Each structure stands twice: as C-alpha cells, then as structure tokens.
Chain A
Amino acid sequence: MKTTTRHLYGLILTLFVIGIGVFTYRHFVLDVPLTDSETVNSWMVEANLRFTAERNKPVKASFTIPYMPLNFAILDEYFISHNYGVTTSLIGYNRQAVWSLRRSTGPQSLYYRAIFRETDKNESYLPKPHLIKSPLPSESMKTAVETIIGQARQSSADIQTFAQSTFKALNTKDGNAKLLVGNDFTDDNIVSAAILVMNQAKIIAIPIQCIHLSQQSKADFKLFTAIYNGKDWIYINPRTGVTGLPKDYLIWQYGNEAMFDVVGGKKPTFTLTVSPTPINALSIAKVRGLQTDSQLLRFSLLQLPVNAQQTFKILLTIPIGAFIILLLRNFIGLTTFGTFMPVLIALAFRETHVVWGIVLYTIIVSLGLLARFYLDQLRLLLVPRLAAILTIVIILMIFISILSQNLGLESGLSVALFPMVILTMTIERMCITWDERGAYEAIKAGAGSLLAAVIAFGAMSYTPLQYLIFAFPELLLVLLALILWFGQYRGYRLLELFRFRALAGVQ
C-alpha cells in the first residue's frame, strides 16, 4: 500500500513537472502567447515598382528587398505581379528580387509585400567585409580630408569614436566640411563625405538605407552609416553621430547603389508604403514553429490542417468537462445519469447555447418519458423498446426543428446536434429509476445531469481556458496530474454531510 501511494504521488509529481516544464519552456522560450488576443507589433511594408513597358521588348525589372534585417523578422512575404517570373538572389550584401517577362505593353506594376515583426535578435548577418579601395580624392579635397582625419584622430580612441568624431567634424559646416560635403548639407552628402574620409583612414564604412516604420504611404529612405571595427558592424546616425540603429528603423539596403533597375521599361517609379498590422501572437508562434528547429513547437496542434484543429479544439475541452464531473461527483456528490453523459450534453450546448439547450433537453426528455411510459403499456422487450424510443426521439427532433423554423426560432434547429443515443439511454434509465425509486429520484438525477452539463459547459466554453489547452496541450498532463491527485480524495462529499448530519449532531 505504501509503495503504491508513493508510486502514485511520484507519478502525479512527474506529470505535473513535465507539464509545467514544457508549458513554461514553450511560453517563455518559444514565445507561444498565453491568451488568444495577445498581439505583437508588426508592420506591413509594400514596395511598388511602376513603369511603362516598351512595346514587344523583354522586360527585366529588379529592386532590392530586405534580407534578415536587424531588429526585425520577416514573417511572411509575397511577390505580386501579373504574369512575371520572379526570382530572388543575394548580390553583395543585399537581396534582390528580379521580375522578368518576355513581352508586355502599357503600364506595369510590381509589388513586394512583407510583414515584419519586431524581435530582440540584434546580431547582423553581415559578413566580414573585404577592404574597399576607394578612389583618391582630388588635391584640394585631400588636404581637407587629412585635416579632418587629424582632428578626429586626436579626439578619438578607437574606430567607433573616430567615426563619431568624423561625423561631428563634418556637421560643423566649417570650411573643410563645406569643401567635402558641398553647400548642401543633406544626409546623402554628409554620408558620402564621411565614407570618403573613413576610407582614406582605412576604415570600412558603407552607407545603409533604412525606412522609418510608421504609418506612411510614401516612405522615404533615411541614411545611416555602418562601420566595421574589426569585429562587429556599428551603425551610426550621420546627423548626430549617435551609434546604434533605432528600433523602429528597418534596413532596406546596404550601399548606395540604385535601389531599382528596369530594362525594357520607361518612367520607373519606386514607392514604399508602411502600415502597422497587429498580428495575432499565435499565428506568429505558428510561423516561427515552421521556421525553427524546435521539435516542441513543430509538434504542436497549430501545424494541423485548420479543420482538424477545429476538431481538436473541441476534443481538448472534453478532459476539462470530465474533470468538472469528477469534482461534482466525488466532492459534491451530485447524482447524474451515467458518468460522462453530462459532458456530451455540454458538448451539444456549444451549438445550442445554454438556455436553448436546457429547454430542448427538457422538452425532449419529458416527451420521451411520456412515450416511454406509453410503450411500457405495450409490453415491449428491451431492445425493441430502446429502438422505439430512439426513433421517437428523432421524430421529436424533426418536429421541434420544423416547428421552430416556422416560428422563426433559429436556435431550435440546433436540436439535431444533441447526441440522440445518449438521450435515448437517459430516457430509458430515467424511466427505470422512476419505476423503481420513484419520481423524486428520477427527476433529481435528471436535473442533476442537466446541472452538471451546464457547469461543465461553463468551464468547457470559457474561451481563455479553451485557448490555453489548445495552444499548450501539455497542460493536459497537468490536468491528468490533478485528476489523479483529486482522485485520492477520501473525505466526505458535500451531500454526505447532509446525509449523515444526524450522526454529527447527536451523542
């Protein structure tokens, strides 16, 4: 006995620990959200290249699209065009989408649409660069470059601070800066001047084109500079010299090569549209599940086809209902017909809704009982009697459906979802109980079943719970542990307290 108890509690503990462990792992590490309504900030960026195709000439259009951008993950991307063939390839640091078509005429429109989700991942995929040989500046510029290098060297300790000092010097707009940048102090000019300076100082620096993620229909590119300090890439704001890329900037392209190119077309325009799209956290977890190597996420119910998922959503609530019945029977002492009949009735309530469910259940069971009492007079044997009741139950269902249809009560139609075999057995057992134990006992058990069904339905249809057990099926192990644990209850049931109250009072 002792060993059995120890075994059982060991099992309970193991199940509990495994369930909770997998649950916490999946929630905290794999980011599966706790509630259905949890959303994650994400953005939809749409790049659109328009041009007019030349008559009867092959068209080849290409533009840069983001590739593993910093601080963001691409959740989904689509290439939308009419008849074009699309390929993507990595060229240098960038990814390029190439659209091609043998023949076309008139205005053309090519779309690239991607959904970006903020992540905490901040390592860049950028490889170690080759040393870039930059063109030598002209004589007059050379002195200006050397002056700035000299200034920056003095006030810096390493590559990063050197770069920052360079930007500071260029932003002073003094003579040297003017000579290098030109009269127009745009980001563009400052960045190219800074890169010229840094290349002369043997520092690898490239411009990067970013877009600011905010609701905008015509997004402009903002320039940043990336420098390589021998180990990592460092991002610098050319205006302020501040390092680090702000969280809401998405890197679109490294380098300042042309962003798009059209062969066989005229008047190309390239626009970017940005809009926020709050995405259900669960669908993100699902997409991540497809991408990651994590077996725990891959083997989740979310990977099933949608209609199978629906089935499992319902199936997974049944253990909850069974658990409720356990509580009601072993702790409260409610009498029901059959152990799990109320769970099946509760399942039917999903479709009929509670009030209609109760009304329909009561109507069918009472009419069925009347029929059963009538059949009793005919002295039928057990099996034919059951078959007759089943038939009568189905006739009643048809009758109720048609009646409610004519009365315009749509809820009445859902009566067909009641488990009729279960109803038949309920009627039969209720009738026998009625005969043997009296009407009081029969009605008590019938009402008890209904009450249990309503309570079980309440728990089973509680959406957060439903979602939780669906997204984290490992919680079933926890539920199993609870069932085993609660099954150990040896004490009095609530109704026993009333039954034995005479024994507690006297003496």
Chain B
Amino acid sequence: MLKTYRKLRQRGILSINRRNSDYVLRYNQRKLYPLVDDKLKTKRLALKTGIAVPPLYGLIETEHHIKTIDTLLEPYSDFVIKPARGAGGDGIIVITDRVFDRYRQINGKLIRQQELSYHLSCLLSGAYSLGGHQDYAIIERRVIVDPVFAEVSYEGVPDIRIITLLGYPAMAMVRLPTRLSGGKANLHQGAIGVGVNLMNGLTIGGVSHNDAIDYHPDTLKPIVDIQVPYWEKILEIAASCYELTGLGYLGVDIVLDKEQGPLMLELNARPGLNIQIANREGILKRYHTIEAHAALVGRESINARVEFSKQQFGR
C-alpha cells in the first residue's frame, strides 16, 4: 500500500485533495463559477469573443414557454435539448428526426410531444441541476460526428477534453461513447478515455474502466494513432478560455462537428482526474512546469501558450 503511495507520488499523479486545494481553490475564484455552471452564459461569452459554439436555437425558461415549443422547433428537424445548469451530461435529449408527430431520439426511440413537455418541466424544476435549483432548457444545433470519430464511437458524440492551467493546455484526451455508457461521453459511465499527444494531436491509446485497450469495444476499430483534426485550432480554443472566463484551472470540452469543425461545448471548473489514467501519466509535473514558466514570463499570448505546451508536453 505504502509502495503504491510512493509510486504514485513519484509519478506525479494528482490527487483529489491536491486538486481541490492547490488548483481549484487557488486558481478559480468562486464568483466566476456561474460563468461555467450556466452553459448559456458560457455560450454567450464564447460568441462575444468569437469562439465557435453550437448555434443556439432557442430557450425555454418557464412552464408557460413549454407550450410554445412546437412553433419554436418548427424549422428544425434535428436538435439537442439540454439543461443550462446540468452536470455530467444528464438530462440531455438528442433528437435526430421527426416521424409523424413524434421525435426520434438518437438511440432510435420515439417520443411524443407530451413526453418531451414532461421532460422539459422536470428540467425546469431542477431535476438535473446540481442542488435541485431552478433551471432552464437550451435548445441548440445537434453536433454531427466528424467522420474521423464515427467509427470509434457508439451513438453519442465523442468529445475532446483539454485541461488548461493558467491558459496553458496541460493534458488532453478524447472521450469515446460506448454502448455501456449509453452514448454519453462520461468515463465513469463506461466511455473510453483516449490520451492525446499534445504535440501533434495523435491518440496514444485508451483506457476503459482502468484497463488499457487499443480497440473500441463496440466497433472493434483501433483507437491508437488517430489524428484529431484541427488540432491547432482545438488547442487555441482551449487556451483562450482562460481569457474568456478568468478561471485559471479549467477542463474545456470541445466537440468536432462534421461541417463546422471544433466547437466549444462546455467548461468545467473542477475537471476530473481520469485524464491521467487515459494518458497513463501523472499531470502534476506538467502543472509545475507551467507554474514555473508562468511565474517567469508573466502573461503570454494565446499562441505562445499553445506553442509552449506543444513543445513541453509532446511525446
């Protein structure tokens, strides 16, 4: 046991306690949290600074609004409904099509308009938000999976998680949904985490529930050495979220759209630690490098930060 402890420490694995005290508490001011806890606020901020996000179709803020949903959704055949303050991908409904009077979900299930209304009113009363607070629904364009990832994901949309410290990308992974995760890109629900080489955007190899794997369990396609497209752009988006929010320690979630390229999906002020397992490497040394560098040179431009990370953390 003690040996494991020492080994982990030696490899610079970040622990929850240290993440909370040394990074979340130190770099993220509490008053800035609403910027990332509310997806709409994040989206508006991003639009203002020119970061690409999935286009907003509409909002549903009150019970009364739910009645107008038909006219609101009239022009769109596929869209996503998500709670503005939801966490962990819960409460998201992805509609791909309309058949007769029903909506077809991404998993093929048909739901009636009544059911959709019920889901929305649950969502408004805070069923999916942290702490059960009042919430509202965001309706936005559905992201269509980039063909690069189509072969290695099941149902859902894979996303790219990049952790940034003081605006420097520190580590990245791609999260691939599986049948087990129910199409969600959440590692603890069974999605696969695949580490990405920061230098060139090539995937390193994946982890599913702590086991190293090289093939997607559902599609059996290899997940090593996939080139993540728009890698430079992705790193820039991640790095620019520091200026966007003022939060020094962020988990940036980016999806790749077939037509629009990388879109910033959401930000997380308490990013998880699984990225270390996906990359099979401790993240602490990288943080120390970044902190030492930032103390030395002060604030750098986005491009300089991306370049620094690529040079330092490539392998």
Contacts and interface: CB of A to CB of B under 8 A. Distances in A.
A506 interface: yes
B188 A437 contact: yes
A130 interface: no
A504 interface: yes
A437 B180 CA distance: 11
Interface in A460-491: 488-491
A491 B17 contact: yes
B44 to A, nearest CB: 26
A497 interface: yes
Given A506-B212, A506-B280, 18 more contacts: A1-B26, A379-B122, A382-B127, A436-B88, A437-B188, A489-B17, A490-B15, A490-B17, A490-B21, A492-B5, A497-B5, A499-B210, A499-B277, A502-B211, A503-B11, A503-B13, A504-B3, A504-B4
Report the contact-size class of chain B (Cβ under 8 Å from the partner): 35 or more
Contacts of A488: 21
Nearest to A492: B15
B8 interface: yes
25 contacts: A333-B16, A381-B121, A382-B126, A382-B127, A432-B127, A436-B90, A490-B15, A490-B17, A490-B22, A491-B15, A493-B17, A497-B4, A497-B8, A500-B13, A500-B276, A500-B277, A502-B207, A502-B211, A502-B277, A503-B8, A503-B13, A503-B277, A503-B280, A504-B4, A505-B7
B231 to A, nearest CB: 25
A441 B15 CA distance: 21
Most chain B beta-carbon neighbours within 10 Å: one of A1, A437, A502, A503: A503
Interface of B: 1, 3-5, 7-9, 11, 13, 15-18, 21-22, 26, 88, 90, 118, 121-122, 125-127, 132, 188-189, 207, 210-212, 276-277, 280-282
B8 A492 contact: yes
Contacts of B126: 382
Contacts of B17: 330, 489-493
Interface of A: 1, 330, 333, 379, 381-383, 432, 436-438, 441, 488-493, 496-497, 499-507
Most chain B beta-carbon neighbours within 10 Å: one of A1, A381, A506: A381
A491 B125 contact: no
Most chain A beta-carbon neighbours within 10 Å: one of B5, B13, B17, B90: B17
B15 A493 contact: yes
A438 B186 CA distance: 13
Contacts of B21: 488, 490
Given A382-B122, A382-B127, A504 B7 contact: yes
B18 A490 contact: yes
A121 B203 CA distance: 83
Contacts of A381: 121-122, 125
A379 B188 contact: no
